[in-house]
């Protein structure tokens, strides 16, 4: 069976890990990003698995370019079954220290890029009555933190946008699925590419996970659609903690997350700003925090093996019930 996926931002970071994971599971994958070398390298990895790949060079903030890319996918690979919106660019720094044009650029890519991708996907999927869009969200779409106002604002906007689209599809009785997979901090190249006003090298908020953790969750949701999925224990704690006490979350973020997003020990590493133009070359999936990143978590195992986990719980409950019944009869 041929299954065709599009991954935006698929040349590096989480997107690159997602491309690899989908290809390993038997998907044909079109890789959409701005840098030619990155998309070519990602497509070569897809083809090495025996699947078909397609390199697409486009800026997702350009709606016409995204539509043209979607047309190419359907002409060369076939109807799009899965569209993963995962592209982002970032600016690190306090809001008033960030140039307005840089802030707007980050929003145009990270939020409107999702809007453009979703429109391109749904305009083809809805008439066919099938397909699946996966939005790569973030814990920061529910809890804003200092130094990342543009990114947090974009991820919050994606939540509201996606909920609106889902409700419209439900009202229409459409069989097209839209899922959101919310990520924790990941060890991706993002933290070497952001435009930064910080005195020290940017870093993810601990705990940090490897991008493959997120990629496996995306692939699991692609194959067994769920409307919302949280990835990593820290995402669960962040979202629930903010719901329980937003005031405490404000205080905690103010006290810990300015220094917590800076890595003085990485100050010798060069930052390459990709806000307006792609960084040349092939950069793979991982950033510079391999030594502190987790490759696995119990919560993400559950996301990937939900049926098995539910079966284990059911069996355990059944065993406890049987023991209680026997014990009751012996009395």
From the candidates 151, 177, 195, 209, give the one annotated as an active-site residue.
151
CA torsion 52→56→61→66, rounded to 10°? -70
In 3D space, the residue among 38, 60, 69, 145 whose CA is nearest the CA of residue 110 turns out to be 60
* CA 157 to centroid of chain Cα atoms: 15
From the candidates 94, 111, 155, 209, give the one annotated as an active-site residue.
155
In 3D space, the residue among 201, 212, 190 whose CA is nearest the CA of residue 287 turns out to be 190
- Provide the token pair at 54: 């397609």
| Alpha carbon distances (Å) from 34 to 12, 73, 263, 267 | 11, 16, 28, 27
Determine contact, residues 182/194, Cβ cutoff 8 Å: no
Residue 266 falls in the annotated catalytic set: no
Fill in the DSSP letter of residue 79.
S
Residue 151 falls in the annotated catalytic set: yes
Q: Catalytic positions, please?
A: 151, 155
């Amino acid at each position: 069976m041929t299954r065709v996926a599009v991954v935006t931002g698929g040349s590096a970071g989480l997107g690159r890990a997602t491309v690899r994971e989908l290809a390993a599971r038997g998907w044909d994958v079109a890789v959409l990003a701005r840098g030619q070398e990155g998309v070519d390298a990602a497509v070569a990895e897809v083809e090495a698995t025996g699947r078909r790949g397609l390199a697409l060079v486009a800026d997702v903030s350009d709606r016409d370019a995204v539509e043209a890319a979607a047309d190419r996918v359907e002409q060369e690979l076939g109807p799009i079954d899965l569209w993963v919106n995962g592209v982002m660019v970032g600016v690190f720094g306090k809001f008033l220290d960030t140039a307005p044009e840089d802030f707007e650029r980050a929003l145009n890519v990270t939020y409107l890029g999702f809007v453009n991708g979703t429109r391109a996907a749904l305009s083809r999927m809805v008439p066919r009555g099938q397909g699946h869009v996966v939005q790569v969200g973030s814990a920061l779409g529910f809890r804003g933190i200092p130094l990342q106002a543009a990114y947090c604002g974009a991820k919050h906007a994606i939540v509201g946008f996606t909920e609106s689209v889902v409700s419209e599809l439900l009202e229409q009785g459409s069989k097209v699925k839209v899922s959101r997979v919310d990520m924790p901090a990941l060890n991706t190249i993002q933290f070497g590419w952001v435009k930064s006003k910080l005195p020290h090298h940017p870093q993810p908020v601990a705990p940090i996970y490897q991008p493959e953790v997120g990629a496996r969750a995306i692939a699991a949701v692609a194959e067994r659609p769920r409307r919302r999925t949280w990835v990593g224990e820290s995402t669960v704690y962040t979202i629930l903690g903010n719901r329980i006490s937003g005031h405490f979350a404000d205080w905690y973020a103010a006290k810990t997350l300015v220094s917590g997003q800076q890595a003085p020990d990485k100050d010798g590493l060069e930052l390459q700003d990709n806000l307006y133009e792609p960084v040349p070359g092939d950069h793979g999936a991982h950033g510079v925090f391999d030594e502190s990143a987790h490759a696995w978590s119990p919560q993400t195992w559950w996301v990937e093996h939900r049926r098995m986990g539910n079966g284990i719980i059911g069996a355990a409950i059944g065993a406890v019930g049987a023991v209680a019944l026997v014990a009751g009869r012996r009395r």
